[in-house]
Structure 1
Amino acid sequence: MQEQDKTELGFCGPGLMGAPMIRHLLRAGHAVSVWNRTAAKAEALVADGARVVATPRELARRAEVVLLCVADGAAVEQTVFGDDGLLATPDDARRVRLIVDHSSIPPGLTRELAERAAALGVGWVDAPVSGGVGGAQAGTLAVMAGGAAQDVATVEPVLAAYAARVTHMGGPGAGQTTKLCNQAIVTATVAAIAEAVSLARRSGIDAARLPDALAGGWADSTLLRTFVPRMTQDGLAPIGALKTFQKDVDTVADAARETGTPMPVAGTVQQLLRLAEAMGLAQADFSGFVDILQTPRQG
């Protein structure tokens, strides 16, 4: 292995996405220490070779590079700067030199956190991902990175364990802005797929056959092939909750307002997701868009 491959890693947040990413790191030969607010999720990785620690502060004493994949901006800030956070560790006891944030959080907050970390001599790469749970399991995620070019280059061999592609988009926050562009496209497309499934059903067409019928045409896509089955079959394991889409689209709306960018489609999707929450669907799978549209026909 090259010297970079021997760097001990820390990972905060072994959830639906984080757990398979950690397993890829372990299979690639990395030593990985893991922390999670719910300890059982971290302990589930012990059999794969991970070491569990009690706090992020302990990770900072062990690992030079720490990766995060947590729920939101508040969780990122607490994990890094909280009382037991990564950077609560005194300088003379701290090994961590680079934080890689795979979470999806606002670009402005990313820039603020990166500045605070830099003041303590720690680099920051915002590295949100696309590809979903399937991409994490297959090791084919797309990573959109923001931060100093040298920091991105340093961590790229590590990310190669679970990413098919790492694209450096600019300075701190650029990766998060790119993820917002991704989420604007994804959420609008999934909403459109839900409308198409609903139209097919109400027209007496077998909606489950849409991917076959549209294969090779302009409407064909990974999202179509992923979500039509999820909208027409029962019993499939969830791949994410609508509340996550809502968080991301609310952040898209904030960025649109800050930059004066007209985004009428994203605005409509935002209202759909707020309706989903009002209907008690916040915890529903991403495919729950179709359930928002199941209002009974009148007459």
Structure 2
Amino acid sequence: MSATIGFIGTGLIGAPMVERLLESGRSVVVWNRSPEKLAPLLAAGATAAGSMQELAQQVDIVCTCLTDTGAVEDVLFADNGIARVMRTGQLLVDLSSIAPDATQRMAERLAAESGARWIDAPVSGGVPAARAGRLIIFAGGDADDIARAAPVFDALSQRVTHMGGNGAGQLAKSCNQQIVACNLMVIAEMLAFAEKSGVDASKLPAALAGGFADSLPLQIFGPRMAAGIDTPRLGAVGTFRKDIEQVGRLAHEVGALIPVTRAAIERYREALVHADIGADGDASRLIRLTRGVS
């Protein structure tokens, strides 16, 4: 019997994940605080639940893909949270990017209160990889539980790496975001430098492809930065700021030195209050910090 999957958090990257699950033949139940946002997913074959708890009661695996640690905690442990109705052995697969230490605490609480099992499974690859089922997943939790989550992982990812116990997947994602967030800021500075030096910046992503300077962020965001394109949004500045601020906190707690990352943190703080960037702006707008556009 195939597993039924529930999905809470059908936003920028959650929606294409649901679409991919449906395309792969999975049965998916969805819920969103704004029901009208579910229309495209329902048209694609998903089933809507009347509440988060109703969703959790109907499915074998509950997936969450939410904005931050607080949102995940609310979905699980608020008065109407799903932990109240989850059952022994049921899987919670958290695809969000949240705090590793909070993940470990919540996993322990979920197990104690309901007997359900937690897998932290943050992803990398962005919206294009989500649509193609080519995400990279960093998994934290029990190896047997991760194997049982195959109906989700096989549809969404090209690779799942078991990093360790609960929280280890989120810590690996923090390492990933440390590189990505710093890389995006340097890409923005590089393109602005090229423009001021008289080089056609629009040619640089293709020119650098395959060399040591190449990266997916360069190929995805570089052309958008050079052309001044910021829609559709592929990654919010506020999300990268949240992730890199978390790296700063975790590094401080373990005594790791991250001077380059801390410089990037300050630049993301500037981007959040920049008149033409802001938390909701696409990361392609980061070039405006260096161009001086306001």
TM band (smaller chain): over 0.9
Q: Determine if contact 1:66/1:96 at 8 Å carries over to the other structure.
A: no
Q: Is the contact between residue 62 and residue 95 of structure 1 (CA under 8 Å) also seen in structure 2?
A: no
The code of the aligned residue for 1:118 comes to A
What is the DSSP-based 3-state SS (H/G/I as helix, E as strand, rest coil) of the residue aligned with 1:108?
A: helix
The TM-score normalised by the length of structure 2 is 0.94
User: SS state of the match for residue 11, structure 1?
Assistant: strand
Q: Structure 2 residue aligned with 1:253, among 242, 248, 255?
A: 248
Report the counterpart of residue 176 of structure 1 in structure 2. 170
Pick the aligned partner of 2:281 from 280, 284, 294. Answer: 284
User: Which secondary structure state, in structure 1, belongs to the residue aligned with residue 11 of structure 2?
Assistant: coil
What is the alpha-carbon distance in structure 1 between the residues aligned to residue 178 and residue 203 of structure 2?
Answer: 26
1:226 equivalent among 220, 243, 253: 220
Structure 1 residue 237: deviation in Å? Answer: 1.5
Cα separation, 1, equivalents of 2:26 and 2:213: 41
2:233 aligns with one of 212, 234, 238: 238
Q: Secondary structure at the match of 1:205?
A: coil
The 8 Å contact of residues 64 and 96 in structure 1, kept in 2 or not, is answered as no
Amino acid in structure 1 at the alignment position of 2:142 = A
CA separation in 2, counterparts of 1:162 and 1:135?
8
Match of 1:117 in 2: 110
| Aligned-partner Cα distance in 2 for 1:197–1:244 | 22
1:279 CA displacement: 1.2
Structure 2: how far apart are the matches of 1:27 and 1:279?
40
Contact kept in structure 1, 2:31 and 2:50, CA below 8 Å: yes
The runs of 5 or more residues in structure 2 that have no matched partner are none
CA RMSD of aligned residues (A): 1.5
Question: What is aligned with 1:208?
Answer: 202
* Residue aligning to 1:133: 127
- CA deviation string 1:227-269 (max 9, x = no partner): 2111012444110210000110111111101111111111111
The answer as to 2:269 corresponding to 1:274 is yes
CA distance in 2, matches of 1:112, 1:278: 33
Say yes or no: does 1:10 pair with 2:6.
Answer: yes
Quote how far apart the aligned CAs of 1:95 are. Answer: 7.8
* Deviates further, 148-157 or 243-252: 148-157
1:64-95, Cα deviation, whole Å (9 max, x unpaired): 11000011111101111112211122x7xx58
Aligned counterpart for 1:144 among listed residues 138, 148, 154: 138
Contact 2:89 2:115 in 1 (8 A): no
For residues 82 and 55 of structure 1, the distance between their equivalents in structure 2, rounded to whole angstroms, comes to 13
CA distance in 1, matches of 2:147, 2:17: 19
Alpha carbons 1:145, 1:175 under 8 Å: kept? yes
1:31 and 1:214 map into 2 onto residues whose CA distance is 42
Once the 2 structures are TM-superposed, how far is the Cα of residue 52 of structure 1 from its aligned partner? 0.9
| Whole-angstrom CA distance in 1 between matches of 2:54 and 2:116 | 16
User: What TM-score does the superposition give when structure 1 sets the normalisation length?
Assistant: 0.93
Q: Quick check: 1:36 aligned with 2:29?
A: no
Structure 1 unmatched ranges of 5 or more: none
Using the alignment, how far apart are the partners of 2:145 and 2:38 within structure 1?
A: 27
Q: Deviations over 1:92-147 (max 9, x none)?
A: xx587110000011001000100011112010000000000010011100000000
Is contact 2:88-2:115 (8 Å) kept? no
Q: Is the 8 A contact 1:20 1:136 kept in 2?
A: yes
Secondary structure of the residue that 2:291 maps to in structure 1?
coil
Q: Structure 1 runs of 4+ off > 4 angstroms?
A: none
Question: 1: distance between equivalents of 2:11 and 2:40?
Answer: 11
C-alpha distance in 1 between matches for 2:76 and 2:31: 12
The number of equivalent residue pairs is 289
Question: Residue 213 of structure 1: CA displacement?
Answer: 2.4
Q: Secondary structure at the match of 2:79?
A: coil
